[in-house]
Structure 1
Amino acid sequence: MNLEHDTWVVVADGEKYLLLRNKGDQEFMNLEVVDHDTSTNPPARELATDRAGRQHDSKRHSNDGVQSWGKSAMQETDWHRVEEERFAEDVAEKLLGLSAAGQFRHLLVIADPRSLGAMRNAYGDRLAPAIIAEIGKDLTNLPLDKIEASIKAWDGG
């Protein structure tokens, strides 16, 4: 994929994002960092304070006709994942604000699939006129030249 001059690119996951601008042209991409941020999301073990809850089951009948009551464990909330989704939503809100301020006309969104889904839910159709493509990959840990190479190699599928 070739990016026009001044196209903005957001590269995000649930814990960090890079906001980039193509200072080059369609033939020679030159991404420069406009903004970046990292979440302070601690590991899930530090966010949970208790063991999973228990829930009483309704009456159960065994094969021999005896009625019994049981308990089952409830699945614990993954607070780390909740924070990752919240961070992705915050990135989407930032993009909406920048778009409303006229900061970019074209935007390429690159994020891991889970974060991309959270971002899509947050910005809905409001960024549709600016978004040229969405790529469901995690490129946040790559240097700029590798991000550029990944964008150039992307075939739209």
Structure 2
Amino acid sequence: MKLAHKAHVAVVDGENFVIMQNEGQIFEPKLKTVAQPDLTASNFSAGVKHQDDAGQRTGSTQLDELAHAAAASEWLNKQAISGEIDDLVVIADPKTLGEMRRHYHSELEKRVSGEIAKTMTGETGEKIAAAISSS
């Protein structure tokens, strides 16, 4: 996948959220961390679809993680609407990415140039750039 110069990369999981920016070239990205937003997860209705009887018995509904994904989308929506983000690649584990997509504003959808369904939080910028290049 190509990553435009100055494009943003959101790396998200159920607890972490990092925004990086490409300071390199399209086919040779060099990522720099530019923000680690402190989110307040408030949309706990996000995980309602995961609240089945089996999930409640085993504690696998993970409402906090899904609410964090919704909060990350809300933060990205504000950035897209205000024009702070023009080109974005989202990297998140499959469950988080699925929840985030449900909350994308139309302005954010226009700016998402790619998505990678993979857990990459805690990885170095070099590993994340390599994952983008190989996608």
In which range does the TM-score fall when normalised by the shorter chain? Answer: 0.7 to 0.9
1:112-156 per-position Cα deviation (integer Å, ceiling 9, x unaligned): 0000011001115442210111111001121111111111111xx
Structure in which a larger fraction of residues adopt strand: 1
Kept in 1: contact 2:40–2:68 (CA 8 A):
no
Q: CA offset at residue 40 of structure 1?
A: 9.8
Percent of paired sites with the same residue: 33
1:79-117 per-position Cα deviation (integer Å, ceiling 9, x unaligned): 871000000100000000111111121110110000001
Larger Rg: 1
Whole-angstrom CA distance in 2 between matches of 1:74 and 1:17: 25
Structure 2 residue aligned with 1:26: 26
- The alignment status of 1:110 with 2:81, answered yes or no, reads no
- Which 5+ residue runs of structure 2 have no aligned equivalent? 42-53
Structure in which a larger fraction of residues adopt helix: 2
Kept in 2: contact 1:12–1:88 (CA 8 A):
yes
Query: How many residue pairs were aligned?
Result: 123
1:10-43 per-position Cα deviation (integer Å, ceiling 9, x unaligned): 01100101101111121331111111157799xx
Kept in 2: contact 1:13–1:115 (CA 8 A):
yes
Distance 1:75 1:129, change over 3 A: closer
- Which 5+ residue runs of structure 1 have no aligned equivalent? 42-72
Choose between structure 1 and 2 for higher RCO, CA contacts under 8 A separated by at least 6 residues.
Answer: 2
**What TM-score comes out, normalization by structure 2 length?**
0.80
Moved beyond 4 Å, runs of 4+:
37-41
Distance 1:115 1:34, change over 3 A: same
Whole-angstrom CA distance in 2 between matches of 1:16 and 1:2: 25
